[in-house]
Each structure stands twice: as structure tokens, then as C-alpha cells.
Chains A and B, each alone.
Chain A
């Protein structure tokens, strides 16, 4: 028997895709140059984070030395890294469980 997927099923499905098929992350690293306001701006404008989410990750970068800003396929993470380097931030790609 088949039925169409409802919204709840679709959300579970995509969460599963993220875990099984795409175990890579983009990390942004702290540096002494870039302004906290700039890093926050980049997170808001490029990743579409809210002010509060962007500030939270920016502070994580600042205090912990780095923060995960995205997860997914390797190719996708590499394109995020390219964009971060474009902005002058330093970012790297690694396996999610590394």
C-alpha cells in the first residue's frame, strides 16, 4: 500500500539523508583580524541565519576557536568554504565525526 508523504514524513526523510549520505561539515576558524560584526554579517547574509543564530556561532568561533556552520555533502561543504574564503574568513571541510 502506498500513500503520499505528509510534511512530517518529509522532514524525517531529509534529516535521515543528512545523517546517512552526507557526513561532512564546514568549520569556520577564529582569526585575529576579522571583526565580530563582520563575521556575524557573513553568517546572516550567506547562510541566512537569524541575528541570534549568527551571533551564537560567531561567539563560538571567537571563544572555542572554531564552529560548525553547515553540514551535508562534501561538494556542498566545499562550496561553502569557497564562499567563506571569498569573504576573507578561514574555513575548512572535514568529516562530521572527525
Chain B
């Protein structure tokens, strides 16, 4: 990967190898899928169907997820269960929707770069979407690796070590993006 930087016109660019790009797009896609059912449902034209959909409360939940990755991406906002549930009812859907949109924006940037056989080029808004998605990806991987406390390294079996390498690489990508944004 050629790290993020601002080019001579001020646009934030980076260059990923084919395997890196595929990996990143795949991970972003997985996060989008994971959160999709928590996000806003699609607009439904038929008002009766829309009312039914809304009344069943599809999308959103009332308490912290059992899935540790989702729990970390959609965490509690209060230490008290009631207050947390109220807050979750009002905000979870829009938070999940934004996270899905950010992950999809990352996949789109990669696809555009692939099509143009060139660098990833980001607007300031896309750079912010990338920053948030990179955090969501690392949080998800950490949950899968069982990283719960500072210094945890995850398992020493082959697939955990490979996943941990990706996790560390994403940290490096994040720092390069922060540097580019602030340059």
C-alpha cells in the first residue's frame, strides 16, 4: 500500500494492492451486512405496509447485543438499563444507518479506484467515512479475536495470527489517514 497523503491539489489519495483492496472491501462489506438489520428499513411506498413494518419495530433493539462485535459498535450510553434502553430506542437505528453508509462508502471508493485502475481518491467527507469505518473494522476484528483488555493479543492459532496481522495493518492505515487529513 502507498499510504494516505494529500496530492498537489490537496486531494487525499492512497494506493492499495489488489489483495489489500479486496480484503478491505470484503471487511467493509461484512460490517455493512452485520449492521444492516439494525439500520433504517428501506422506504416503502405502500403506506399500510410501511405502517406494519414500523409497528413491528424492525431495525433497532432495546438492549446490548449478545454479539460482542455488535455490542461494541452499538454500545450502551448509560450505566442504568432503563436509560440505556430509552436512548437505544431513539438513536440506534440512525447510528447503525450511518455506520452502514460509511462502510459502503469505503467499498465504493475502492471499487472506483479499481475501475479507474488508479489511486483511491477521497473527498474530505469520504475521508471521514473511511476513518470511522476503519475504527469499526478494528473493533469488529478485536471482538472476534477476544481482545478485551489493553495488551491482549488474541489466539496463537494460525487464523487468529493472520487476523491479528490485518488488525495491526488497519491501525497503520488509520494513522496514515489521520496524518493525511491533518496535513
Contact = CB atoms under 8 A, between A and B. Distances in A.
Contact of A92 (B72, B73, B78): B78
Given A34-B139, A92-B76, 6 more contacts: A32-B142, A41-B178, A81-B87, A92-B79, A93-B78, A94-B79
A91 B77 contact: yes
A32 B147 CA distance: 7
Contact of A30 (B79, B99, B136, B150): B150
Interface in A4-56: 30-35, 37-38, 41
B66 interface: no
Nearest to B136: A88
5 contacts: A33-B138, A38-B178, A78-B77, A82-B77, A86-B99
B95 A82 contact: yes
A35 B176 CA distance: 12
Given A88-B73, A92-B76, A92-B77, A32 B152 contact: yes
A12 B152 CA distance: 47
Contacts, number: 72
A92 B182 CA distance: 28
A62 B162 CA distance: 27
B148 interface: yes
A73 to B, nearest CB: 15
A85 B178 contact: no
A62 to B, nearest CB: 8
B91 interface: yes
A90 B95 contact: no
A30 B149 CA distance: 9
A38 B77 contact: no
Contacts of A37: 174-175, 178
B135 interface: yes
Nearest to B133: A88
A34 B98 CA distance: 19
B6 interface: no
Contacts of A92: 76-79
Task: Select the residue from B75, B79, B83, B95 with max chain A CB neighbours within 10 A.
Answer: B75
A78 B76 CA distance: 11
B50 interface: no
Given A78-B77, A78-B87, A85-B74, A32 B178 contact: no
Interface string A69-98: 000000000100110011110111110000
A90 B72 contact: yes
B171 interface: yes
Contact of A33 (B79, B99, B139): B139
Contacts of B98: 86
